[in-house]
């Protein structure tokens, strides 16, 4: 059964037929990764969902309705997935270091959305950054950039 779920995710995310399917797979993977940080403190907060939506609009130039569908799809895919690995692998395969940095910065925005940084959120971002092969210095630079942007 577990193998069936893994093969479904691999087929759905990595072997999408056309450019539109591949783009949608990357969008779902990015949304799932962003949502993972919102879940790290064991509650998905409305402010965090708004930050996730804003990141998806900014990154992929999507309409609000498309973002709602994308978040729903990502939540569904994430619940079916046994780990984040298929999503992270897709991002590793298709994104440049600059795009990965932008994802890490968006993860920090999600973590800070509710006005506080939970230790589980920070741990999750560190873990994701490691799995995306983002150097520690870039991980810290993303955090400091987001904190500076949010400062009054």
93-132 pLDDT per residue, tens: 999 999 999 999 999 999 999 888 889 999 999 999 999 9
21 vs 49, which has greater pLDDT? Answer: 49
Model pLDDT, residue 104: 97
- How many C-beta atoms surround the C-beta of residue 135 within 10 A? 12
pTM given for the model = 0.81
Question: Considering just the CA atoms, what is the radius of gyration of the chain in Å?
Answer: 15
140 vs 29, which has greater pLDDT? Answer: 140
Range of the domain at 64: 2-150
Gap between the Cα atoms of 102 and 100, Å rounded: 5
Total domain count for the chain? 1
The pLDDT of 25-32, averaged and rounded, is 87
Averaged pLDDT score across all residues of the chain: 82
Under 8 Å between Cβ of 139 and 104 = yes
42: left (phi over 0), alpha (psi -120 to 50) or beta: left
CATH assignment of the domain containing 104: 1.10.3680.10
The pLDDT of 55-77, averaged and rounded, is 83
The pLDDT of 35-57, averaged and rounded, is 85
The pLDDT of 31-35, averaged and rounded, is 89
Model pLDDT, residue 42: 76
């Amino acid at each position: 059964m577990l193998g069936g779920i893994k093969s479904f995710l691999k087929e759905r995310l990595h072997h999408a037929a056309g450019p539109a399917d591949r783009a949608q797979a990357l969008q779902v993977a990015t949304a799932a990764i962003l949502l993972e940080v919102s879940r790290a403190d064991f509650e998905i907060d409305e402010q965090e969902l708004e930050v996730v939506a804003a990141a998806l609009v900014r990154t992929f130039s999507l309409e609000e309705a498309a973002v709602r569908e994308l978040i729903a799809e990502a939540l569904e895919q994430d619940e079916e997935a046994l780990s984040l690995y298929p999503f992270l692998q897709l991002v590793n395969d298709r994104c440049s270091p600059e795009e990965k940095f932008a994802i890490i910065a968006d993860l920090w925005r999600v973590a800070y959305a509710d006005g506080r940084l939970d230790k589980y959120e920070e741990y999750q971002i560190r873990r994701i950054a490691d799995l995306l092969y983002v150097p520690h210095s870039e991980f810290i630079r993303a955090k400091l950039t987001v904190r500076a942007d949010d400062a009054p």
